Amino acid sequence: MPSPPLHFISALAFVSLAALACLEEQPAETATLGREPAPQYTDAAPAAPARAAAEPQGLAPDEVTVVTVARQAAPSVVSVQRDGGVGSGVVIRRDGIILTNAHVVGDARQVRIGLADGRELDGQVLGRDPTVDVAVVRVNGTELPVAPLADSDGLLVGQTAIAIGNPLGLERTVTRGVVSAINRSPRGFGLDGLIQTDAAISPGNSGGPLLDSRGRVIGINTAVIAAPGASGLGFAIPINLARDIADQVLTTGQIRRVYLGVDYRDIDEPLADQFRLPVREGVILTVVGEGTPAARAGLRQGDIVTSLDGKPVRQGGDLRRAIRGRKPGDDVRLRVLRPEGERVIVARLGEVTIR
């Protein structure tokens, strides 16, 4: 059976990331920046509200947690508007730095930001990386309410997950669920290492925060699977990855990424049956970019990649994750299948600057 469709959860038109994520050398535009000091984020949980501030009464402890997080975090959630569509974002620095999705801002250099206090400000898109669906926006502001950032590497399946965003234009809607899984790489999506959650998310939630029970951002909501009989299948980009993109943009004005220079398709049972492939998992190369590290190493269209440096490649997410963990200039050993047999190809990874 084919995989169910994945829908990005912004009301904005969007060019599929799946076509972009595999070609890691494809540049995306960002504004030119001078160097800045290393970014300073709020990583500590916000102070508990004063008891006099209408502390919830008569609620179960888990309900009090959600109410407290909503009160603390909602002021940092913004709307992001361009071309008549609306998505979400979250303020991560008091001087006006906002994280959202690359597909929310699209190719725009300027967007309109709606703050919780009712103000609307012009936002400058400082940088965007479609391969991980993260964008960084700046507004002219001081002492803006911010959401503290968690360490997403420490997430546990089953812990509380709270989503806040602007679904269908309904500003700062709060939903609750759990972290259903971590390190998800849905087929046909073009993103990997995602947080899966059953907290309800809908069109317009894209770019909004996914929070833990202490009100810290653990991810940036990006997509939901919509299929008959399927519900509670939402996905978020881990905040550690989004923070890394923001750090690069704010300190260097650009994003540097290692790349191999291929596009590919996941192998599944229907594809293997249709083309009588010798394996039922792995990736088959559909494009080998001219002049790329892949081409120089001798990789070619139709190669089936089954492992990288001895670790199995069962789907595209495995390949992307393995490459992203390397540095430019590193050599990687790819085991590939061809009609004439199996062979190992050594490729030296390159670097692309996303400006």
Please check whether residue 99 is in contact with residue 41, taking contact to mean a CB–CB distance below 8 angstroms. no
Burial of 47 (0-12, 13-18, 19+ CB in 10 A): exposed
10, 129, 133, 180: which one is catalytic? Answer: 133
Residue 7 annotated among the catalytic residues of the structure: no
In sequence order, the β-bridge partners of residue 16 are: none
Assigned token pair, 230 = 């399927």
Contact 226, 241 (CB under 8 A): no
Spot the catalytic one: 10, 79, 206, 307.
206
Establish whether 206 is a catalytic residue: yes
Q: What share of the chain is helix, strand, coil (3-state, %, to 5)?
A: 20, 35, 45
127-172 pLDDT, tens per residue? 999 988 999 999 998 999 999 999 998 899 999 999 999 887 788 9
Spatial contact of 150 and 212, defined as CB atoms under 8 Å apart: yes
Buried b (16+ CB within 10 A) or exposed e, 70-89: bbbbbbbbbbbbbeebbbbb
Determine whether 266 is an active site residue. Answer: no
Catalytic residue among 103, 180, 192, 318: 103
At 206, give phi and psi (nearest 5°): -50, 130
Range from 7-21, 38-52, 261-275 that averages highest in pLDDT: 261-275
Average pLDDT over residues 7-22: 35
**Rounded distance between C-alpha atoms, residue 310 and residue 41, angstroms:** 38
Tally of CB atoms within 10 A around 40: 12
**Higher-pLDDT residue of 314, 35:** 314
Give the HSE-up count for residue 28: Cα atoms under 13 Å, Cβ half-sphere: 29
User: Hey, is 186 helix, strand or coil?
Assistant: coil
Q: What is the 3-state secondary structure (H, E, C) of 117-172?
A: CCCEEEEEEEEEECCCCEEEEEECCCCCCCCCECCHHHCCCCCEEEEEECHHHCCC
How far is Cα 144 from Cα 138, in angstroms, rounded to an integer? 12
pLDDT per residue as tens digits for the range 183-235: 887 766 678 789 999 998 887 889 999 999 999 999 999 988 876 666 668 99
310 Cβ neighbours under 8 A, 6+ residues apart? 333
**Whole-prediction pTM value?**
0.72
Q: Enumerate domains of the chain plus CATH numbers.
A: 6-252 (2.40.10.120), 255-354 (2.30.42.10)
